[in-house]
Copies of this chain bind each other. A is one copy, B any other.
Amino acid sequence: MADDDLPKRATVHDVARAAGVSLATVDRVLNGRPGVRPETAERVAAAIGTLDFRRDLSASLLARSRDLTVTFLIPRGHNAFMERLADAVRRQGRGLARARVRLDVVDVPPFDGRALADALDALQPRDCDCAVVVAPDDRWAHAGIERTSRRGVAVVTLVSDVPGSARRAFVGIDNVAAGRTAASLLGRFCHEGAIGLIAGSQALQDHAERIAGFREVLAAEFPTIAIAGPLEGRDDDRLTGDRLAELLDRYPRLAGLYSVGAGTAGLVAGLAVLPDARRPRVVVHELTDASRGGLRTGLVDVVLDQHPDREVAAAIGVARALAGDPNARIRPEPIELGVYLRDNLAGAESAGGERE
C-alpha cells in the first residue's frame, strides 16, 4: 500500500512548551505583536525553527472568525484582457467563498501610478490581507506599494512586475520569453523588410520586457530584418488603430507586426481594410474575441496568451502562503505562455470557465 509515516505537525502548544512560555506569548511573536521581550521572542523563534512549526491557516481564520481577503486592483479602460482578468477573479471568488477566502475587485484608472497608489493607500490591514496589483513601473506605484506593505498589507504584482519595489512576489508569464517567441515566429514568417512594433506603453514592465526579448532574438537570428517602432497605443482600440495607420504610412511594405499590448480590436479592424498584398504577418497578445476573430479570418497569425485564470489562481496561492507566514520566501508557480495558431484554437475554446 502507500501509507506513509505521519510526522505529527507541531502546534502552538508544542512551541509554547518548548520555549517555556504561554500560548499568548507564542501568538504575539507569531503575529509580530508588541509586548514581548526580545530575548523571549528569540526563544520562541528558536522553538519554531527547531520544531518546524507552521501555523494552520484554517484554524487561524476560524479563531478570528475572519475570511482571508485578497483585493485585486485592476486597471480598467476598454481593455478586453483586463475584463477577462476581472472575470476570472469573480468566478474563482464564488468558489472560494465557502472556504473562508474573499476576493474583492477594485477598478483603477490605467497607466496611472498615482491613482493606483491612492487605491492602495485606502486598503487597511483590518479588511485586506493581500493586495494584488497590475501596476505601471513608476515612482508613485513604488511608493504606494512601499507604504501599503509597511501598513501590514502584503502586495503582489500581477501580469507586470514592479522590480525593486516592496512587492512580495510577481505572478505572471516570462515576458522576455514571450517577446523572444514572437520574434522567433515572425523572423521565420518574414524573410526581409521591417517588422512593426506597437506597445501599450513602455512604462509597463511587461511591455518593456517583451520588446527587449523581441529585439534580442531578432538581432541574433534575423539580422536582416529591421524593427519599426515601437509606437505606443496605450492599450486602447482607437489609438492602436491610429498607430497602425501611421506605421503603414511610413512603411507601406511592412512585412510583420508584433502587437505587444492590447487594443487588438482596433488593430484587427485596421488590418481588415488592407489589400491582401500589403497584409503583414501578425502576432498579438491575449485570446479575446478580437484576436480569435483575427486568427479565424487569417488577419492574425499567432496569439500569445497568458492564461489569466491561472494567474489569478497563482496569486491566491501566494496570498495564502503569505497569510500563513508573512516572512515566507515565495516561489509562485510559473505561468505557461499559451501559443495559439488558427489550427489549435479549438483546444483553447473548449476550455471551461472562460466566458464573454
Contacts and interface: CB of A to CB of B under 8 A. Distances in A.
Contacts of A50: none
A248 interface: no
Interface of A: 1-4, 9, 54, 56-59, 61-62, 71, 98-100, 104-106, 122, 127, 174, 177, 181, 184-185, 304, 324, 333-341, 343-344, 346-348, 350-353
Q: How many copies does the complex hold?
A: 2
A59 B62 contact: yes
A59 B56 CA distance: 11
A153 to B, nearest CB: 14
Contacts of A181: 346-347
Contacts of A71: 2
Q: Which of A2, A54, A181 has the largest number of chain B CB atoms within 10 A? A: A2
8 residue pairs, one from A and one from B, having the closest CB atoms: A334-B352, A339-B344, A58-B58, A336-B351, A339-B347, A2-B104, A337-B347, A2-B106
A98 B127 CA distance: 25
A343 B185 contact: yes
A334 B351 contact: yes
Nearest to A181: B346
A58 B104 CA distance: 22
B338 A2 contact: no
B344 A177 contact: no
Contacts of A3: 104, 127
A296 to B, nearest CB: 14
A218 B177 CA distance: 38
A310 to B, nearest CB: 9
Given A106-B1, A181-B347, A353 B333 contact: yes
Contact of A336 (B127, B337, B352): B352
A108 to B, nearest CB: 11
A58 B60 CA distance: 11
B343 A341 contact: yes
A142 B334 CA distance: 39
18 contacts: A2-B104, A3-B104, A3-B127, A4-B104, A57-B99, A58-B59, A59-B62, A62-B62, A98-B324, A174-B350, A177-B350, A304-B347, A334-B353, A336-B350, A337-B346, A339-B343, A339-B346, A341-B343
